[in-house]
Structures are given as structure tokens and as C-alpha cells.
Chains A and B, each alone.
Chain A
Amino acid sequence: MKGFRKLTLVNLKLYLREPISTFFTLAFPPLLVVLFGAMYGNDPSPMFGGYGSMDVSMPAYTAMILGTVGFLGVPITISGYRESGVLRRFQATPMRPLTYILADIVANLVTTLLGMMGLVIIGWLLYHVQFEGQVMAVILAVVFCGLAMFSIGYLIAGLAPGARTAQVVGMVIFYPMMFLSGASIPLEIMPETIQRIANFLPLTYVVRLLRGLWFGDAWGEHLLETAVLSGVLLVCTALAARFFRWE
């Protein structure tokens, strides 16, 4: 238990010391608020069900942070640690492999929530963004979606032969998905074809679930999203456990 706490804390510190990952989780989303806010403002729009574009961007950018951590952070770190021999060194201690993974997941969830907090604070300061949901439900949904996204990341790390490949695969999957899932640009302004493609992307379901809960929907109204993400979580966790390698 002491090992778990210590490792979580160390992982968190290491994450915050990495300038690139810190930028994309903590600084980039608020920057988008400033940039897109200046372009589009936050006036209520019928297209967004009476909310402003910055209002709907809060849950969307949160999904983007989850995607960044899951598709880029997790695979790059884990496969990099494997390649350089960090995982081997941990393997030679009495720590359980599961403890290692859990500490990594918790640290990633904390960074995600930190990024989300920064995003919401900027959104509120600049545009008084609306929030109509329940805080606990939204946090729970972020954790749930996080687990689903990170499990994909662990799977990529397990399948990729090296750190470079893991990075490329993560980027190839994430960057198009970031634009096609509504995580950066609302799907409402996209052509119908793209909206149809979006149905095949896991991140789309994260955006829909988070946006729903953000504006006060009950979980019960998002059974499809919950089911899809649970499926992703179960399948990817099983596969990631199967393909995970210490070296």
C-alpha cells in the first residue's frame, strides 16, 4: 500500500515535469478556450440546444484531455519505459504488476482532472460557462471514460514493438479522432458524412456522455454511450493484459 501511494505520487510528479505532456493536458485546453472563444464567443445558439459554443466545449475539451492522455501519454510512457528498461527494474521488486498499472492509472486520472479544472476555471472566468449537472456524476463519468481510453492506450503499448511505433500509432489514431469525434470542433457544424463516421469512434461516446451529464442528463439517458465504453473497457483491458510485456 505504501508502495502504491508512493508510486502514484512519483508518477504524478514525473508527469508534471514533462513539458510536452503538461502542455497538452494543462495548458492547451484553456488556450483553445481563449482562441475559439475569441472567434466564436459564447452566445446561446439553437445549434447547440440553446447553449453557447464555449459551454459545449467544456465537456468536449475534457474528452480531448482524456484522449491525449489515453492515446498519447499512456502508450508513449509505457512503451518508452519498457524499451529503456524501467519496467524491468520495477519487475525485480516485490511490487505486483497490477499495483504498478493502478498507480499509473490513478496518476493519469488526477492529471486529467487537474487539466479539466484549469479548463473550467478559464471557461468560467472568461465566459461564465454553464454547468447544470451534478459534480459527482461528471467526475465519475470522467473516471469511467478515462479507464476506457487508458485501456486502449495500454493495448497500443502492449502491441507496439517499440516506443517510436507506439507514438506513431497513438498519433495516427488520436489526431483524426480528435477532429471527427466532436472533442475539438462540435459535430453539429460538421457535414453529415463526418457525423456518421463519428459513430464508429470511441471518443465520440465520451464526448456525448460527458456533455449529457454536464447539462444535467441522467446516466439512464446515455445507456448506449455507457454500453459502448464499457465494451471498449472490457475488451481492451482483457487484450492489454494478454499482450502486456515487461521487456
Chain B
Amino acid sequence: MPTVIEVGNLRKTYGSVIAVDDVSFEVNEGEIFGMVGPNGAGKTTTIECIEGLRRPDDGSVKLLGMDPSEKRRAIANHIGVQLQESALPPRLRVVEALELFASFYEHRADAEELLDILGLTEKRSSAFDKLSGGQKQRLFIALALINRQKIVFFDELTTGLDPQARRSMWDLVRQIREQGCTVFLTTHSMEEAERLCDRVLIIDRGQIVALDTPEAMIRSLGAENRLVFTLPENQADPLLTDLPQVQRVEQFGERVVVYGHGERFASSVVYALEDAGVDFLDLRTEQPNLEDVFLSLTGREMRE
């Protein structure tokens, strides 16, 4: 798979603050590449250096083989961009915005079709400042798709969207990729990164913490599964640590968390509980996810 984005030893500082520190990675054609990390980790700075909106202090960026800080306009023709923070003139109407932005590009997507896909057809004549946060976000996504781009950048794709709109946006991103477009997105939602991205780059305090497929990252954790249940009062503490699949047991009041691994981990615990005649409630298993990956790699919770 050819490489479409190459970032080498990228560094960017704002005064004494190091926003991005020696970051290197590549993005392949046709993949959904996600950059994830807490706010202030350096996601937006990195993506904007790649888009040619910011000039790196050091390091190299190649986009479709070109340097964005030198060939900004040539590159801008081939990429779609949704910025984390931007606006349109308050009285500009939705359909006018699409037609205006279409006029800047050589290859144009169908404005009406985009309105339809993003559920903005009813709002076509509404002024920008009369739109809700989610509608504005969807309009900016439409603007990013107006030029039949080769690569599309979404900086905080689903911020401001309700859960339903989020899911339909994920479907849309997958569709865009099906059409051969490369997708580069940033998010602070580990769930979004895990569900949507082929490869994920975890960034924290300007440095790369991990870069792999979500599955491989989770596997590399040593894959500890969790079984959680509630133990009503006056129940004897079940002796689960004797089971070969169980590593340790933690109890917080009524809540019991059993850590372990192996294919028969969950069932062996359940059998052991039944055998002991323990009256457990609300039993569920928890798979490790990217949140755990972040926690184990940085020692901190991934919170906004």
C-alpha cells in the first residue's frame, strides 16, 4: 500500500510550550488513521502541520509526495479539511457555503447529494449562525468532502454530535474509505478510535505513546479480562484465586472484580461461584479497551 503521508521528526513549539516533540509516522493510502490523546496532547498541531496551515519548527512533512508548507495550494486541491475550530460568516446560508467552497476546487462533489447524506437538506436555506452545534459540525464535514479529495482530515470528527449522529458519521467515514479516500482523524474518544480506525496513534504531551492497530494494542497489554459482579451482604467471600485462570480478585464493598485470562476464564469463575452456592448478581465481563492501553502506557486516566 503506497504511503500518502510521511511525517519525520516533527517538532513544533509555541513559546516555551512544546506542542509536538519529535513525532514520526506514516499513513497508508486507503486507511482510516486515527490520532488519539487527551486535550492538549498535540493532535491539532500535528494535523495542521500536515494540512499546511502551520509551519513546523523542525522535521519534515510529505503529503502525496509534496511539502505542505511549500505547495499549500497544490495540496489543498487534493485534500478535504474539517478544522477543530472555525466558522463561516454568520449570515451565509448552508447551500451558499457549499456552492462557494465548491467553486474553489477543480473537482467538485455534488452539493445536493452531500446535503442529503449529512441530513442538512431541510436546513439548506438556514444562515450559519442559526444552526445548532451539531448542524454546524455536519456542514463543516460536508465542506471537507466537497472537492472529491484523496485524503480527508477530520479534527475532532464527532465533537458536538449526539450519539446517533456520531454513529452515522462513523458509517459515513467507512463509506468514504470504501471509495478509496484516505481518512486521517483526531479524536479524544478512545471508543471512536477503537471502533473506526484501522490504525491508531496514541499521543500524549507531544510524543507518540503507541502506534498500531487497536486489536494489537489491546493484545499487547497482556490481555487481562475482567469479570465483575455484585455480592449481596452476608455472602461468604468465594475462593476464586485457586482457579488457574484467575490472577487476582479485588473487592470494593459489594462489588467484586476478578482479573484473569484464558478462554474459559469467565465460565470457570461462574461454575466456581455456582458450586460454592454464591448468590451473585449483575454479572458481566469487561474486555480491555484502548482506555486501558492508555492507562497502562501513561499511568494516567484518559480524561478530557
Contact = CB atoms under 8 A, between A and B. Distances in A.
B89 A94 contact: no
Nearest to B72: A94
Nearest to B89: A14
Interface stretch (A28-36, A37-45, A78-86, A145-153): A78-86
B91 interface: yes
Contacts of A95: 104
A85 B86 contact: yes
A79 to B, nearest CB: 13
A144 to B, nearest CB: 28
A130 B266 CA distance: 97
B87 A14 contact: no
Contact of B83 (A6, A92, A94): A92
Contact of A88 (B53, B96, B103): B53
B236 interface: no
A86 B104 contact: no
Contacts of B143: 89
B100 A10 contact: yes
Contact of B53 (A18, A86, A92): A92
Interface in A1-60: 2-3, 5-7, 10, 13-14, 17-18
Contact of B103 (A2, A14, A89): A2
A91 interface: yes
A2 B85 CA distance: 27
Interface of A: 2-3, 5-7, 10, 13-14, 17-18, 81, 84-86, 88-89, 91-96
A17 B91 contact: yes
B87 A3 contact: no
A81 B73 CA distance: 21
Given A10-B100, A84-B87, A85-B87, A91 B53 contact: yes
A88 B74 CA distance: 17
B99 interface: yes
Contact of B81 (A7, A14, A84, A92): A92
A86 B100 contact: no
B91 A14 contact: yes
Q: A5, A85, A92 — which one has the most chain B CB atoms within 10 A of its CB? A: A92
B53 A10 contact: no
Contact of B86 (A2, A7, A14, A89): A89
Contacts of A5: 103
Taking chain B's interface residues, is the majority helix, strand, or loop, or is none over half, making it mixed? loop
Contacts of B213: none
B76 A3 contact: no
Interface of B: 51, 53, 73-74, 76-77, 81, 83, 85-89, 91-92, 96, 99-101, 103-105, 140, 143
B129 to A, nearest CB: 10
B224 to A, nearest CB: 43
Contact of A6 (B53, B86, B99): B99
Contact of B77 (A2, A84, A94): A94
A72 B52 CA distance: 32
B42 to A, nearest CB: 18
Contact of B87 (A13, A17, A89): A89
B282 to A, nearest CB: 46
Contacts of A84: 87
B77 to A, nearest CB: 5
A174 B130 CA distance: 32
A86 B87 contact: yes
Given A3-B104, A6-B99, A14-B92, A94 B86 contact: no
Contacts of B91: 14, 17-18
Contact of A10 (B51, B77, B81, B92): B92
A85 B81 contact: no
B105 A93 contact: yes
Given A93-B105, A94-B73, 11 more contacts: A10-B100, A14-B89, A14-B92, A86-B87, A88-B83, A88-B86, A89-B88, A92-B53, A93-B104, A94-B74, A94-B77
Contacts of A3: 103-104
